[in-house]
Structure 1
Amino acid sequence: MKICIFCSANKDIDPDFFTLTEELGRWAAKHHHSIIFGGVNQGLMECVAKGAHEAGGQTIGIIPRVVEQSGRISDFVDVEILCDNLNDRKQLMEDKADVFIALPGGIGTLDEIFTVVASATIGYHDKKVILYNMKGCWDSLIALLDDLQTRGFTRKKWEDRIRIVHSLEEIDQLLNN
């Protein structure tokens, strides 16, 4: 399975997120899954790629040219796919991935999550989107989604498109059912 990881490229975040992210990368490799990610050598992006790569897994970096030109490509990218911009990156990720897992992240991660979910909502695909709620990092987003649903702004239950997990064991169960 090709698992696309959406996550932070920042380094000044809770160290536990790095530990859990590297574990996810190793878990993916152990289960013969490939990791698709943004290809950047910073933050959780670098961490998940390192975990997967060092455990013998394959990593696929979908890399905007501006990242390539700035020299910020991860050393742990096995397959480089260059693209023109962030919109191209998201489309390539959506096309190539079997499932999406969102780790802690900011505006870019939110953009990626909702682009994929919106595409599924109108019928472009039926791929799973998983929020890995490490240390409650997505609790506020979950509350917002609940509020939007209560107010009638979502056509269906948002949980039909976005699944919440708190551990690798839950990811494993979700992907194997």
Structure 2
Amino acid sequence: MKLCIFCSANQNIDPVFFEMTHELGEWAAKNGHSIVFGGHDAGLMHAVSKAAHENGGQVIGVVPRKIEEMGRLSPYLDVHIPTENLTDRKDLMMLQGDAFIVLPGGIGTLDELFTTAAAATLQYHQKPLILWNMKGFWNSFIACMDDLQQKGVIRGEWRNGIKVVDTLDEIKDLLG
């Protein structure tokens, strides 16, 4: 399975997030799963790609031209898919991924999460979308989504399309 990982490229975040992300990359590789990610050489992107690579997993980077121009390309890519911009990147990541796992992140991660979730609501894909709520990182987001649900602006139950988990074991269970 190709696991598409959406996550932060920042370094100044909780060190435990790096440990948990490393465990995800290691587990994925040891179980024959490939990692699809944004191709950046920092933050949680670096952690998951390095862990997968060091444990024999395939690492696929879908990389916008700007990241390459900044010299921030991950050294752990087995497959390098260049893109012109972030929209192309998201489209290709959705095509490449068999399942999506959202780790802590900021604006870019939220953009990827919402694009993937919206695509699922319109039946462009029926792939699992998992929000890993590491140490309660996404609690405010979850509360916001629950509030939007309660106000009636989200059709259906949002948790049917975005599975919220707290542990790697829950991810393993969801992915079989």
TM-score tier after normalising by the smaller chain length: over 0.9
Alignment match, 1:36: 36
Q: Which secondary structure does the structure 1 equivalent of 2:32 belong to?
A: coil
Alignment match, 2:9: 9
Show CA shifts across 1:32-73 (max 9, x none): 000000000010000000010001000000001111122110
After superposition, residues 29-108 of structure 1 pair within 5 angstroms as: 29-108=29-108
Alignment match, 2:133: 133
Whole-Å separation in 2 of the counterparts to 1:115 and 1:59: 22
Cα RMSD, aligned residues only:
0.6
Shift of 1:131: 0.5
Alignment match, 1:170: 170
Alignment match, 1:122: 122
Letter in 2 for 1:175: L
Whole-Å separation in 1 of the counterparts to 2:126 and 2:23: 27
TM value normalised by structure 1? 0.98
Whole-Å separation in 1 of the counterparts to 2:70 and 2:55: 28
- Identical columns (%): 58
Whole-Å separation in 2 of the counterparts to 1:134 and 1:77: 25
Shift of 1:25: 0.3
Structure 2 unmatched runs, 5+: none
Whole-Å separation in 1 of the counterparts to 2:61 and 2:28: 15
The answer on 1:20 being equivalent to 2:1 is no
Letter in 1 for 2:38: G
Whole-Å separation in 1 of the counterparts to 2:108 and 2:70: 18
Shift of 1:15: 0.4
Q: Which secondary structure does the structure 2 equivalent of 1:144 belong to?
A: helix
Q: Which secondary structure does the structure 1 equivalent of 2:60 belong to?
A: strand
Misfit runs of 4+, over 6 Å: none
Q: Which secondary structure does the structure 2 equivalent of 1:80 belong to?
A: strand
Whole-Å separation in 1 of the counterparts to 2:133 and 2:30: 22
Structure 1 unmatched runs, 5+: none
Q: Which secondary structure does the structure 2 equivalent of 1:152 belong to?
A: coil
Q: Which secondary structure does the structure 2 equivalent of 1:5 belong to?
A: strand
Letter in 2 for 1:87: T
User: How many equivalent pairs are there?
Assistant: 176
Shift of 1:123: 1.2
